[in-house]
Amino acid sequence: MPAIGLFCDCKVWMETAASGVIRFVFFGLPADVEAAHYLHDLIVATFATETTRFKNEDATTASSQRRVSARSFEIGLAHGICDKLTSMKAERDAANRRSTGRDLVPLKTSIIDDEMEKLGLSFHAKGQTRKREVAPDAYRTGREVGRKFEPRRGVATA
């Protein structure tokens, strides 16, 4: 979620409802929030498709290790997609600076920060210390698939 927020120039946070349902909130300019929701949905579909493909190709793995293998693939996939979005964001920002001589992101950030302050919202990052068993080959496969993630394809055909 943080990579989607960064890529779409939005703030993002997680909320837990009284019922226990978890949701993510994107906060930014309307078009950026819409893009973040679209990208989120595209990534969810990518996870479903690519994890199913991986499980079908990984049928020879012992059943006791299939869950670890699939989870390792998904962790790698998430990291690969984050790598891709971070790289694309850096390229886009650099191109915008070259073409206009100005960087739009600080202006957007300022507007978003001002609106959050008006609403009395402030957040602090919370670190994660959870460790998981990871199957290295499945992780590497997932990361490589994630680095090939292409959000432009989905945008072009929509």
Q: Residue 12: beta bridge partners?
A: 26
**Taking 70 as the threshold, does the pLDDT of residue 154 lie above it?**
no
Tens digit of each residue's pLDDT (9 = 90 or more) over 12-69: 988 888 899 999 999 999 999 999 999 999 999 999 999 999 999 877 666 778 889 9
Contact status, residue 26 vs residue 8, Cβ threshold 8 Å: yes
**Which residue is it, tokens 């001002």?**
114
Q: pLDDT-based confidence at 157, cuts 50/70/90?
A: very low
pLDDT at 92: 86
Does the global pTM surpass 0.95?
A: no
Q: Domain residue spans in the chain?
A: 2-157
89-142: pLDDT as tens digits: 999 888 877 766 565 666 677 777 777 777 777 776 666 666 777 889 999 999
Grouping H, G, I as helix, E, B as strand and the rest as coil, residue 36 is helix
